[in-house]
């Protein structure tokens, strides 16, 4: 498309029987400060500035030249700050949507192993619904606070109950991570401040051994060893379900949970039988039911379901 330049730094010929465009400023701009102009057939004013020796053109989305000049001056100040090393300049930062940042965060999460991906997506779903259609520059601390208030209060009409402070913190934490990743990748310039709520979810009370045994004896036989070992070792359910017989060293009396099966990616150790640190350790697959199931199916896991 042909571009008709109407620069503000000099006189422009005005066609007959047409009104001249309003003059946006009384003094010409300095060299390197860019200029504003109108394209042929468009009433909106455009801005042009130079970044790393290349021209960048953007629409001001306004027919008012003062609006275009304000936007141009803003970019010129950002360019100056970038040259001084005070801040990064990202030409297309204003066009980035939060949905794009969340997509990048999910890809980043998968590349790092993607542990607990289902839970990650569950926390990300309400964040995407609330912020996905917003431009990143429009997400302010107040917008985030409004989201926090809505999640804590819930929505009876939509059938959404109030969420706990811990749940809201997990959600806003993902939003903050998405913005920080965008800043590191030079997609946006800055991230908004996101408050963290105080959490009061400390577990209280103890499940003593007699109470536990009263429950365990009513479980199916194939679950009893699994439950007893979980109770005594305090290992996570997913960690126990992936425990294999190759992880059990009966001679040394040790059980090792491999790092890839542990949430913090650090191997965990426990004892087989006897006492360790004053605590009894349950035998792995010690019941006849477990042994018979293992022989029957030739399974490698310690606790087949």
Residues 121 and 82 in one domain: no
Residues 78 and 105 in one domain: no
Q: Of the candidates 42, 71, 89, which is a domain's last residue?
A: 89
Residues 2 and 83 in one domain: yes
Residues 85 and 111 in one domain: no
Q: Measure the N-to-C terminal CA separation of the chain; round to a whole number of Å.
A: 68
192 domain residue, yes or no: no
3 domain residue, yes or no: yes
303 domain residue, yes or no: no
Segment holding 214, helix H or strand E = helix 209-216
Q: Of the candidates 150, 184, 218, which is a domain's last residue?
A: 184
305 domain residue, yes or no: no
pLDDT attached to residue 26: 38
pLDDT attached to residue 28: 63
Asked if 8 and 25 touch (Cβ cutoff 8 Å), the reply is yes
Residues 135 and 65 in one domain: no
Does the pTM exceed 0.75? Answer: no
What residue numbers bound the domain in which 164 lies? Answer: 95-184
**Residue-wise DSSP of 36-49:** EEE-TT--SEEEEE
Instruction: Tell me how far apart the alpha carbons of residues 197 and 226 are, in angstroms, rounded to a whole number.
Output: 36
Residues 115 and 83 in one domain: no
Q: State phi, psi for 233 to the nearest 5 degrees.
A: -95, -20
Residues 100 and 84 in one domain: no
Read off the tokens for 167: 């749940």
Residues 70 and 104 in one domain: no
Residues 232 and 247 in one domain: yes
Q: Of the candidates 74, 89, 104, which is a domain's last residue?
A: 89
**Residue-wise DSSP of 248-274:** EETTTTEEEE-GGGSTTS--EEEESSS
Asked if 256 and 269 touch (Cβ cutoff 8 Å), the reply is yes
Q: From residue 193, how far is each of 126, 137, 140, 160 by CA, in Å?
A: 19, 12, 8, 26
Residues 147 and 63 in one domain: no
The count of domains in the chain is 3
202 domain residue, yes or no: no
pLDDT attached to residue 79: 77
Could you read off the pLDDT tens digit of each residue along the chain, which spans 305 residues? 444 444 444 444 444 444 444 444 434 677 778 888 888 888 899 888 887 778 888 888 888 989 888 888 888 877 777 676 666 666 677 788 999 999 999 999 998 877 778 889 999 999 999 999 999 989 999 999 999 999 999 888 888 889 999 999 999 999 999 999 999 988 888 899 999 999 887 777 777 888 888 888 899 888 888 888 888 888 888 888 888 888 888 777 788 888 877 777 788 887 765 444 334 444 454 444 445 444 444 467 777 76
215 domain residue, yes or no: yes
193 domain residue, yes or no: no
Residue that has been written with the tokens 């209060």 in this structure: 153
Residues 2 and 84 in one domain: yes
CATH code, domain carrying 124: 1.10.150
67 domain residue, yes or no: yes
Residue 43, number of CB atoms within 10 A of its CB: 9
Residues 109 and 78 in one domain: no
């Amino acid at each position: 498309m042909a571009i008709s330049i109407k620069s503000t730094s000099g006189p422009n010929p005005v066609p007959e029987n047409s009104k001249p465009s309003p003059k946006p400023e009384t003094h010409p701009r300095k060299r390197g400060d860019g200029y504003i102009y109108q394209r042929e057939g468009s009433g909106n004013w455009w801005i042009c500035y130079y970044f790393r020796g290349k021209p960048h053109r953007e629409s001001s989305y306004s027919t008012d030249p003062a609006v275009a000049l304000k936007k141009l001056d803003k970019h010129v100040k950002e360019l100056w700050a970038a040259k001084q090393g005070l801040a990064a300049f990202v030409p297309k930062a204003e066009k980035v949507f939060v949905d794009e940042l969340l997509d990048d965060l999910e890809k980043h999460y998968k590349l790092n192993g993607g542990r607990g991906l289902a839970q990650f997506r569950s926390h990300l779903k309400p964040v995407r619904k609330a912020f996905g259609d917003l431009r990143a520059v429009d997400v302010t601390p107040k917008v985030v606070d409004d989201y926090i208030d809505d999640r804590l209060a819930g929505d009876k009409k939509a059938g959404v109950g109030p969420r706990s402070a811990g749940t809201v913190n997990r959600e806003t934490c993902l939003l903050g991570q998405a913005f920080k990743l965008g800043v590191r990748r030079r997609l946006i310039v800055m991230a908004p401040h996101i408050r963290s709520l105080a959490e009061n979810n400390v577990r209280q009370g103890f499940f003593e051994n007699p109470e536990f045994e009263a429950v365990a004896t009513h479980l199916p036989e194939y679950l009893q060893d699994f439950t007893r070992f979980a109770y005594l070792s305090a290992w996570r359910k997913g960690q126990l379900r992936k425990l294999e017989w190759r992880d059990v060293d009966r001679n040394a009396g040790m059980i090792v949970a491999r790092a890839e099966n542990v949430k913090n990616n650090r191997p965990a150790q426990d004892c087989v039988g006897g006492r360790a640190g004053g605590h009894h350790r349950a035998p792995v697959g010690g019941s006849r039911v477990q042994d018979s199931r293992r022989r029957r199916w030739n399974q490698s896991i310690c606790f087949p379901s």
